[in-house]
Copies of this chain bind each other. A is one copy, B any other.
């Protein structure tokens, strides 16, 4: 038993008579004065398991009730050096239980679980060397373009074409667990997609009680795994049969059954889920509007993850034929604005193995650049927060301009063009503000990171605090280079840039 590693108690008995999900098995774990209630699950063939994830390394007492009764105490070892514990949202950031910062560099392999074992092995081998630390994958199989293969098994038994959600297919769940644990060993979070609309088997037409039986088994079984995330759905708003209150209920139910408090969110097609929901840990978005990050951070006070922002690839669908640079550019914008992002890859393949849903090998040029960004950000002494860019981020741009015009200290004081802007419509203002957007992050007064995106400017400015000196690097997001150009910068500085797309300026405060 070690801190941050799943501790389990196994019991052998008779298989359940009725529901194989709703079994009468519960336990209380107590560690460092904190009591945690968990429920057990049937793992097949009369094998029952109770699981607990120690978040502390003090001795652990437990008491099992129901079908089996037992109690005991075990010592709990310290965490292994590469185990940091489950990820949680703390304010607008993710951190592991041990306080280690977590920047979510995701990728997407939707139907990873529903491929042949050899392909899953190839996918895992790829992930071993890829830069990603989160994978989005579906519990249920996927039916969509390039995704027509029948899965070898489902999560629940199918009897006469209908699923019996009280009867898990244990070999499926064993395999799922194996893969989640394998991901954990690779340092990768398993962002489990619980529902999705791309279905031909009936999972998109489940009724509400069926959904809750499924979620019951899911949480009993997987909550004690350290690297699990709950993504209620991919494109929840396309599941027309699922009323809005269902999702609220699913979230509440998972929260009640998951003592660890894994990250939980819900991913949209067009309409963002309501992330003010108290059970939502973060904003999970299908969107490439990375300039909205700051607004979302302010509005919800939770981390913002661009979980689907288009894929590097060459399929005819416009969301699946981004250039590598375009995806890398979106990653930079998401992270420098204080968010997180998820990759995907959709290259046509003779065997119809597209990474985005089936895995296999990565063919694109974006992963290396994403890895470069990840290393760069992880080397910084904290998490970026967006630098408010004034006008472009103002709640009321008209009011902002009015104040600047009247402020003798402002560069806009009395400016006639800005005077004019007070007379334009809101829609015109929105269009104009596009030109005032900057992608600019900071870590307190220690770090400034400004990313110029597709702008090919040959001059970049930074407004550094004038009470310290900074070392400034010019960073090339595509060529993955970083070159120090100033070691003593202070106050407002102007730096010569190569005038290429994908350029950033990084300023780090020198030690006093």
**A interface list, Cβ under 8 A from B:** 197, 237-238, 240, 269-271, 313-319, 321-323, 326, 347-348, 416-417, 419-420, 423-425, 428, 431-432, 435, 454-461, 499, 501
What's the minimum C-beta distance from A167 to chain B, rounded to whole angstroms?
A: 28
A270 touches B432 (CB 8 A): yes
**Chain B residues with CB under 8 A of A319:** 435
**Chain B residues with CB under 8 A of A425:** 271
> Given B237, B423, B432, B460, which contacts A316 in the complex, CB threshold below 8 Å?
B460
> Which of A237, A318, A322: most chain B Cβ within 10 A?
A318
What's the minimum C-beta distance from A377 to chain B, rounded to whole angstroms?
A: 24
What's the minimum C-beta distance from A337 to chain B, rounded to whole angstroms?
A: 16
Residue of B nearest to A432 (CB): B270
**Chain B residues with CB under 8 A of A348:** 458-459
B428 touches A240 (CB 8 A): no
What's the minimum C-beta distance from A166 to chain B, rounded to whole angstroms?
A: 28
**Chain B residues with CB under 8 A of A347:** 458
B326 touches A454 (CB 8 A): yes
B240 touches A457 (CB 8 A): no
What's the minimum C-beta distance from A145 to chain B, rounded to whole angstroms?
A: 12
Whole-angstrom CA separation of A323 from B478 in the bound complex: 15
> Given B238, B271, B323, B420, which contacts A454 in the complex, CB threshold below 8 Å?
B323
B456 touches A314 (CB 8 A): yes
Whole-angstrom CA separation of A420 from B499 in the bound complex: 45
Q: Beyond A321-B456, A321-B458: 7 further Cβ-contacts under 8 Å?
A: A197-B416, A270-B428, A314-B456, A316-B459, A316-B460, A322-B454, A323-B456
A457 touches B316 (CB 8 A): yes
**Chain B residues with CB under 8 A of A432:** 270
Whole-angstrom CA separation of A237 from B420 in the bound complex: 8
**Chain B residues with CB under 8 A of A460:** 316
Residue of B nearest to A313 (CB): B456
**Chain B residues with CB under 8 A of A461:** 316
**Chain B residues with CB under 8 A of A417:** 197, 238
What's the minimum C-beta distance from A78 to chain B, rounded to whole angstroms?
A: 49
What's the minimum C-beta distance from A206 to chain B, rounded to whole angstroms?
A: 15
Whole-angstrom CA separation of A5 from B417 in the bound complex: 42
B435 touches A322 (CB 8 A): no
B431 touches A270 (CB 8 A): yes
What's the minimum C-beta distance from A389 to chain B, rounded to whole angstroms?
A: 12
What's the minimum C-beta distance from A333 to chain B, rounded to whole angstroms?
A: 14
B424 touches A458 (CB 8 A): no
> Which of A271, A317, A417, A455: most chain B Cβ within 10 A?
A455
**Chain B residues with CB under 8 A of A240:** 416, 419-420, 423
A323 touches B501 (CB 8 A): yes
* CB<8 Å pairs between A and B, sample of 7: A197-B417, A238-B416, A270-B431, A313-B456, A315-B459, A321-B456, A326-B454
A420 touches B238 (CB 8 A): yes
**Chain B residues with CB under 8 A of A237:** 420
> Given B313, B314, B317, B455, which contacts A321 in the complex, CB threshold below 8 Å?
B455
**Chain B residues with CB under 8 A of A318:** 435, 455
> Which of A237, A314, A347: most chain B Cβ within 10 A?
A314
Whole-angstrom CA separation of A35 from B142 in the bound complex: 75
B270 touches A321 (CB 8 A): no
What's the minimum C-beta distance from A421 to chain B, rounded to whole angstroms?
A: 8
What's the minimum C-beta distance from A12 to chain B, rounded to whole angstroms?
A: 45
